[in-house]
Chains A and B, each alone.
Chain A
Amino acid sequence: MCPDCRKQWEDAESILRGAAALKDDVRKAMETVDWAALAGRIADTALARPADRPARERVRTFGTVRPMFGWKPAFAGALGGLLIGAAAMYFALRTPNAGGPARLGVYASGEFIDRAELSVAKRETIDYLDKSRALLLDFVQADPENAGRILKDESSVRRTSDLLAKKRLMNVHLDDTAMAKARKICDQIERLFVELSQISEDVSAVEAARIQKYIEEKNLLLRIKLLRGELAGSEV
């Protein structure tokens, strides 16, 4: 990749990373809204409004527009002529690109953006895999007697919750065919986190051992590691 292309590539990635950060703000704001109450309030307001209001608005609209065009065809014709004439003058006399921003070199393909998006998606997935692996390692390496307590400490609960939220944000990127393999493993991790988030602190040692065994039997940690390496290796 030439230096110019590299710079453009990095810029596009930065913009997309910034966009991903905007989503975090939205998510935080969403957590503070009482959605059930909001829906009820809107429905009550809508139903309390006079039923004939929209109809009256329609009548008023037609009442003002129709006389202009229905009763004065000469005026409507003159107005139409003016508009068509102005449009024709605009297209005939405009200077191409006058005053527009300077063109940016060879930055010219929508595919370029798609590739930049894919690259950002890979980085996001790698981050997700790293954090997931660390959390699963904490659980797998724990004594089954203490595994439940470890999962339910404040930090682990937050990490699990963050990873579940992150996975949902990633889903749209994982739909890309190039990410099909990653999607399969990430879905599996997500299902596991859902299960882990639902078990109680006093989970039995037998149950904890069962989940630990499941993780080992599925070679989940190894597969995460391999997938991570694959994604990192294919990054541009």
Chain B
Amino acid sequence: MNAEIALQPEGGASPDVVTGLVRRVRSGDREAFVALIGLYQKKVFILAYSFFRNKEDAVDIVQDVFLRVYEKIDSFQESRNFDAWLIQVAKNLCIDRYRQFRGRREMESGVRVDEIPLADNHSPDAYRASDLKDALARSVDRLADRQKTIFLMRHVNQMGNEEIARALNISTGTVKSLHFKAIRRLRTLMGPHLGCQT
């Protein structure tokens, strides 16, 4: 496997190339669909993985997203941005699945997600970077859906504000505002952990 996998889609094909592939997929061209998946599967995986932090769930989401894309490809308007459309499909599936996942996890453990401690805080000396990461991951779980999506798109998918705005069909100002609120909320949730850092 390639050791230099980046958190970016493959290549970055031009809109014309993507439109050409979409047309061929509509006519049932398997190779075109494989190429289209190849262009975007990593981007979808990153978003899904950042939601579930589990490879199997993320791969499932990738499959479901592209099956949905194939089903809906006739309704895709070529005047629209394919990236944004795809990410919107992915985001919707992630949120739907995440709600089920969260409910299942709470039912199995008998503990609400909000009640799970952010980290085992045995001593300040034991505090490590991975603790910060784990605490952050659990805190991100507690964010409202839109804040969570924007935070993950921004920091894990490395999408810019404009790209996120297109994908979520909201204004750039709203993206910035929700991003800011996400950071503020995270700061509240992670307060004790942030305090004990050196």
Chain A contacts to B: CB under 8 angstroms = 8, 10-12, 14-23, 25-27, 29-36, 38-47, 49, 53-54, 101, 104, 107, 109-110, 113, 161, 164-165, 168-169, 171-172
Contacts and interface: CB of A to CB of B under 8 A. Distances in A.
Contacts of B188: 101, 104
Given A19-B156, A22-B50, 13 more contacts: A14-B194, A15-B186, A15-B194, A19-B151, A27-B7, A30-B49, A38-B63, A42-B41, A47-B33, A107-B187, A109-B180, A113-B179, A172-B160
Nearest to B33: A43
Interface string B121-137: 00000000110110111
B133 A42 contact: no
B120 to A, nearest CB: 16
B194 to A, nearest CB: 5
Interface residues of B, number: 56
6 contacts: A14-B197, A21-B129, A21-B132, A22-B137, A31-B2, A33-B1
Contacts of A41: 63
Contact of B187 (A15, A29, A33, A34): A15
A14 B37 CA distance: 35
Interface string B142-179: 00000000010001101010000000000000001101
Contacts of B194: 10-11, 14-15
A172 B6 CA distance: 12
